[in-house]
A and B are shown apart, each in its own frame.
Chain A
Amino acid sequence: MDFRWDLVWESMPLLLEGAWLTVKLTAIAVFFGIIIGTIMGMLRITRTPFRYLAAVYIDFTRGTPLLVQIFIIFYGIPAIINTSLPAYLSAVIALSFNSGAYVAEIVRAGIQSIDKGQVEAAQSLGMTYTQTMKYIILPQTFRRIVPPLGNEFIALLKDSSLVSAIALEELVRKGNIIMTRTFRPFEVWFAVALIYLIMTFTISRLVALAEKNLRVGDSA
């Protein structure tokens, strides 16, 4: 049986359409994931009762499968409050919520890796907790956590394929559709894998570039 490159080629327009949705979902989830993760990561190490809230969120999210989280948000919650959530919105919520927990752990570890002397120097200048975080700790943390954040976003991009389970036509779902039309699993999944590879490779190059550029330059 020969490999039909023409089929790979013909699948591309539809697959790229799916890939575009994959990229959109991932980008939105990364955006909210960083916001949620930064807040939760910081709360996790404050001495307020909020740290328990953050711990529950992080442990729950990391301790349950993303697919189950997607089902809870798409089927579970609407069933209880008697409404329905569009698949797209459910996917965005589930992926952001999931990514936030992993980012929170990265942020927490990043903050804790900053030398204690930095906080003391900031405090000795009379800076408040918020000022210390904003000008001293978080900027150094973000520089330091670029590589693990990059890994997390690559993982998220791949995991976003799970939203195909709620009928969102992202890359994997499109692959499935073409598959049922052509019955050529090898070519189709090869093409899908190739597109994922190009996307993940691009992210890791961008991350490496960001890492290099963050070494220098900063304005107060």
Chain B
Amino acid sequence: MTTNNNNSNIIQVVDLYKNFGKLEVLKGITTEIKVGEVVVVIGPSGSGKSTFLRCLNYLETPTSGDIIFNGEVINPKTNLNKLRQDMGMVFQRFNLFPHKKVIDNITLGPLKVRKQSKEEATEQALNLLEKVGLSDKANSYPDQLSGGQQQRVAIARALAMRPKVMLFDEPTSALDPEMIGEVLEVMKELAREGMTMVVVTHEMGFAKEVGDRVIFMDDGKIAEQNSPEELFSNPQNPRTRSFLSKII
């Protein structure tokens, strides 16, 4: 298997297919994510956005096709746990560990997976909490926090692994409207700092402000992709047009 030696690509996706039993969900996706790029994925519900994201860190195993991460083709011998350390993931429903304090949610990965020292992991966690504006919540339990706060902790938890890429699956769609802004702010800050991000979201403001590229997915394929300005103001594909008219 040859790999494209374009070093500016952190992830390459080559002809990715994913079936669930007889159901074809991804039908040949080819794209690449550049270092530092912020890619926003939009598309109708059920078009395969989550599945695409979950194939990138192998939470789902692709049926066929290749994911090339950092120049290496993921294959049956790849250490998936190592791969996932380098790809942070933020979920729609936060998925914080409810039996652990906020601080322990954040230090668990660094301590047990990265084998950092307690002092190092704690110091880093406190810095991250400050970054997401939750320094005063270190000793709270997740169920004592609002949805927006929980999602910011989840972002801090993922960042604590010092990932090379961050994957977000509709991070604001389970939130009350008044909490969306605080989470998007954190994400924008991250984008400005140069983090490579793949974000499934329908927040057009976010896409326009920090997105480098928007991918429109429809029926398991990439129907159209372009810069946010171009895609939103001048969509080429009729499916894109009809989708955008519904969500704006």
Contacts and interface: CB of A to CB of B under 8 A. Distances in A.
A and B held together in a complex: yes
Interface of A: 115, 117-118, 120-128, 131, 135-136, 139-140, 143, 216, 218-220
Contacts of B59: 120, 123-124
A143 B99 contact: yes
Given A127-B109, A216-B141, A220-B107, A117 B95 contact: yes
**Nearest 4 pairs between A and B by C-beta?**
A126-B85, A121-B95, A125-B109, A117-B95
Interface residues of B, number: 31
A126 B111 contact: no
A121 B97 contact: yes
A136 B97 contact: yes
A117 B93 CA distance: 8
A55 to B, nearest CB: 25
A213 to B, nearest CB: 13
Contacts of B101: 218
Given A121-B154, A125-B113, A135-B112, 4 more contacts: A117-B93, A121-B89, A121-B91, A218-B101
A118 B95 contact: yes
A125 B91 contact: no
Given A220-B104, A220-B111, A128 B81 contact: yes
Residue picked from A120, A121, A216, A218, most chain B C-beta under 10 Å: A121
B65 interface: no
Nearest to B93: A117
Nearest to B92: A117
Contacts of A143: 99
Contacts of A126: 81-85, 109, 113, 161
